[in-house]
Chain A
Amino acid sequence: MDGKMTDREDGGMGGRAAETVKGAPAVRADGAPTDPADAAGTAGTADLLKVENLKMYFDTPDGLVKAVDGVSFTLNLGETLGVVGESGSGKSVTAMSIMGLVPMPPGKIHGGNVLFKGQSLITISEKDFQKIRGNNIAMIFQDPLSSLNPVYRVGKQVGEGLTIHKGYKKKQAFARAIELLDLVGIPNAAERARDYPHQFSGGMRQRAMIAMALACDPEILIADEPTTALDVTIQAQILELMQSLQKRTGSAIIMITHDLGVVADMADRILVMYAGRPVEYGTTDEIFYQPLHPYTWGLMRSIPKRTAGDKEPLTPIKGNPPSLINLPAGCAFSPRCPYAQPRCHEEGPVLVKLAGAHASACHFSDDPAFLENSPLHDDEDADTVAPGAVAGMAAPEGADTRRGHSDG
């Protein structure tokens, strides 16, 4: 716990606050280097949230959809978990399952557990869940326009949780809502709180959503693609805001996104998902600098590199993500995996811890020769390679990657 927090401190905020771009005075959302997060973090018990082998299936006319199939992770105060994957990988359903927002039926929990401070959220009664939802665990949705009620004033919606969970009177809640809107950087908060959602711009709506989620000081904030619908300059504002608020309140964040840049920025740990299953789990540095799973490699290779001067072809992952109704036998990634062996098509790998908490669901992740295929993704600035990364892992060209690893 302590180790994680220190990681976060020197890496996360301190380094970035150190300098600004020459010639352009930077306007920063996070100003003072305050450290209440540490105090809050160490005070909390271990395992604020523990998800164990969660399976959420949907019964559809076409067959059983295994939307989430065996996801496990733990989350502590002050930590940020990034959940990465392509569309249909089960990221959002995982979040909705934790929040108890999946309609059942058609959804059905086929096993596993979600423990919030040791209490199961799977077996809990809806009445008790309502005391936690929005109060201890809050969620920011991707599309703020469809998540806000168009016929209520923004201030009323932001303060609603306070009247429900904290016993605020309507006027008190509205006054607090104004403070919260001010906190998330909405100008003229007192006036804007009386506006309706359609009068807000996209970025402001997302800020209002964050204010609403923060109203009851939740311990866990689940953000489902919070910046996907926003422009980059507004995205930067929102990410900065979430980081500074996390520092202030010490809450834990689950950040669901398909953007590896966003998790590189925000996350302490990363869970990579594919076809409803976790394929790799580790610290941000482990995932980016010592990735173990071929799917993670494929994702890294697919990103257009910002330093690439000449047009060199990208190395995409061949094929398309599988249908969740009819998953391939064995490893779900095997039909697209350039290194797949006969074993991969028959036997499904399980997520195995390899180094510390770094886990990978691949039969060959413990094979050093196999890991030679890793893109290592920073061939151009090898000096920044994480200490401990295997030296000499040159990024193979597209042709090489198809050859497999029969030598290993």
Chain B
Amino acid sequence: MFDLLISPFTEFAFMRRALAGCLALALGATPVGVFLLLRRMSLMGDAMSHAILPGAAIGYLAFGLSLGAMTIGGIVAGLVVVFAAGLVTRASVLKEDASLAAFYLLSLAAGVMIVSLRGQNLDLLHVLFGSVLGLDDASLLLIAGIASVTLVSLALLFRPLVMECFDPAFLRGVSRWSPVAHYGFLMLVVVNLVSGFHALGTLMAVGIMILPSAAARLWAKGLPMLLLLAVLFAFGSGASGLLLSFHVDVPAGPAIVLVCGVVYFVSLLAAPGGLLAGRLPVRHHLES
């Protein structure tokens, strides 16, 4: 048991780094994912993850596999798409999903084209699927830094963000926090997707945001419990995914997301908010 679960981490530094990266992602990206889920923007997170590709690709094209260039490029591209889509939503008849879809599709196409200019599919795979087992000190620091910034920002934005999700009209009525909460949150989404794409790649980064959140939503009634459960699910899945990848010799990114998926399906079956709970016969209902 010790050999199976603990020794991979004690013996190999790259496994410890990967585990630390997963912890940082679970603490930073997953709470953001919870709010994406509650705002019904789960698919938007997926769209955003594609939107950061051209920025990272331009950084890659100009400076090679440079952490700083790809990070800044990705964040800039993500923010451009977020604010351009927001502008179009406010100033035209298009709703947010349509304007965002337009921008992210263009962004994705541009990104794939830019990556292919360099012409090595191996690099494209790295950008798309990340390298959680190859995290160096700089990447790890970046991921941990983004997680810290995210936690502090979420703590500061918490009340306005909850109100913006629950009753935006009321928040607009009592304060000017509504756009701050909305765009501040979208910026958090962008930086966390960039952080996730170093570890898991652009395509998998959304997985560790949304899947643990969706699973936790099936169990939790209140928001604090929901956030806590989602983080625990995410970290648990990260650790299990790494072990799976280590023992069975499969890529780590997909393994982590698939373990998240297992947690989600188990929750779907067993949780009080899941598929079975409402269908079981009620033997004794309450008096009132």
> Bound pair: A and B?
no
A residues engaging B (CB < 8 A)?
none
Give the interface of B toward A (CB within 8 A). none
